């Protein structure tokens, strides 16, 4: 197969695999709190399975990257889908059948491991794509979340009665089946030689890589943008319920939020190629600030809808932009540790955000919670401006991602 068709085929495999994973992730975010409430001995622990999933991602993300550096993307992704997706889905299903809350939390932790591996699908898109196609390849992979925005909630609701003797267990059985399908697809992934680790390649120590302004801004934009998104997203259903909205209205808002997160991925790569990664990062920060503005202006359904759509688009620009910028900061041999540190930073903040969300909403209220998000948003803006100042004197040969910042 010629290189052009090979890269298209590889990206298509990653897009479908991303969709199958996102169905699992959205199912957990939609249903696991309800299941946790049913199984938990303490109502205050209802959302613990979701937090455990995030912690599972934090713990596994760096080892996943280093493991794939040693064995390659294909084997690593298949390991994540089997040990995380298949085993996690089956264990969660079994836990519901047995009525065991703590076994259900263990299943959630394995699903977090699935996420720890699956988050590297976007970086694998860089490995399999030509330089001119890389930012678009990342965007296409993330665009797999568009289909999952519909399939995830449908799975969480329609499959609950799939197994009569295990109420609410069906969606987790579906997760295991879809992960098994993903394993079959990923077995056909063919990463070109340039995308595999090269034994004996000279690499820089991590502190030297981390001193690069582009690396620092890529991590700041990705981690803070994701943490803000997860914190506000997690607080939204609670805030809407407190204002009397029905669950159907909340589901409508959350579905539009997920669409806001992933629909822009069809064009984000093209926007980066045209305007430069720095301008897209700036636009993402401005959109997050717009979320704050809309949220404090009112509490109608329209206010929540617009705020959550802006939140999703702002996250997309920062996440895709940060991922693209990060790819300019390391060599092939440095890839594993750099991407691992990046995602470790991201999901550490995501875990903190998901754990703090309910407490901040309870003590501060919806409007104040959003207003304090202006501080981290400002930090991202200042970091991007600092990068542009540090990049200006660099020659054009330093790389398109840095030059265009």
- Looking at domain 204-405, its CATH class is mainly alpha
Q: What is the pLDDT of residue 247?
A: 66
What pLDDT, on the 0 to 100 scale, is given for residue 174? 95
Closest CA to 28 of 85, 100, 111, 86: 111
In the chain, domain spans? 1-190, 204-405
Region of residue 72 (phi > 0: left; psi between -120 and 50: alpha; otherwise: beta): left
The predicted pLDDT at position 133 comes to 76
What pLDDT does residue 333 have? 77
Q: Supply φ then ψ for residue 40, to 5 degrees.
A: -70, 140
For residues 370 and 361, give the distance between their C-alpha atoms in angstroms, rounded to a whole number. 9
pLDDT at 401: 43
How far is Cα 276 from Cα 274, in angstroms, rounded to an integer?
6
Q: Mean pLDDT in runs of 10 for the chain (405 residues)?
A: 77 92 87 80 75 88 86 92 96 95 95 92 79 74 80 80 87 96 93 55 82 93 93 83 80 86 86 92 96 95 96 95 89 79 86 78 90 96 90 45 46
Q: Which two tokens stand for residue 403?
A: 């030059």
CATH assignment of 1-190, given 3.40.190.10, 2.40.30.10, 3.40.50.2300, 1.20.1250.20? 1.20.1250.20
Please check whether the two domains, 1-190 and 204-405, share a CATH topology: yes
């Amino acid at each position: 197969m010629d290189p052009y068709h090979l890269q298209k085929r590889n990206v298509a495999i990653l897009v479908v695999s991303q969709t199958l994973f996102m169905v699992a992730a959205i199912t957990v975010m939609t249903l696991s709190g309800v299941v946790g409430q049913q199984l938990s001995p303490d109502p205050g622990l209802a959302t613990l399975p979701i937090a455990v999933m995030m912690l599972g991602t934090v713990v596994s993300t760096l080892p996943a990257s280093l493991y794939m550096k040693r064995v390659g993307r294909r084997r690593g992704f298949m390991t994540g889908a089997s040990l995380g997706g298949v085993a996690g889905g089956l264990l969660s299903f079994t836990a519901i059948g047995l009525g065991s809350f703590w076994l259900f939390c263990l299943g959630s932790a394995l699903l977090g491991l699935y996420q720890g591996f699956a988050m590297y699908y976007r970086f694998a898109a860089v490995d399999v794509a030509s330089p001119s196609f890389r930012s678009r390849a990342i965007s296409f992979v993330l665009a797999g979340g568009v289909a999952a925005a519909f399939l995830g909630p449908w799975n969480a609701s329609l499959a609950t009665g799939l197994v009569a003797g295990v109420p609410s267990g069906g969606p987790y059985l579906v997760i295991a089946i879809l992960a098994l399908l993903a394993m079959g697809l990923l077995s056909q992934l063919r990463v070109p030689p340039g995308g595999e680790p090269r034994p004996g390649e000279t690499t820089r120590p991590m502190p030297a890589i981390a001193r690069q302004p582009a690396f620092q801004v890529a991590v700041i934009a990705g981690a803070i943008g994701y943490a803000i998104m997860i914190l506000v997203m997690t607080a939204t259903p609670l805030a809407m319920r407190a204002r009397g909205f029905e669950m159907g209205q909340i589901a409508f808002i959350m579905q539009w939020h997920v669409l806001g997160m992933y629909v822009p991925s069809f064009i984000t790569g093209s926007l980066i190629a045209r305007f430069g990664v720095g301008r897209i990062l700036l636009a993402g920060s401005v959109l997050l600030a717009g979320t704050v503005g809309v949220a404090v202006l009112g509490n109608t359904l329209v206010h929540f809808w617009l705020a959550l759509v802006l939140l999703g688009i702002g996250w997309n620009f920062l996440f895709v932009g940060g991922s693209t910028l990060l790819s300019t900061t390391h060599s092939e041999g440095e890839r594993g540790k750099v991407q691992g540190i990046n995602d470790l930073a991201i999901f550490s903040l995501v875990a903190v955000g998901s754990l703090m969300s309910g407490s901040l909403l309870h003590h501060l209220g919806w409007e104040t919670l959003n207003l304090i998000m202006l501080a981290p948003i400002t930090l991202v803006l200042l970091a991007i401006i600092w990068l542009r100042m540090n990049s200006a004197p660099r020659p054009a040969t330093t790389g398109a991602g840095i030059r265009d910042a």
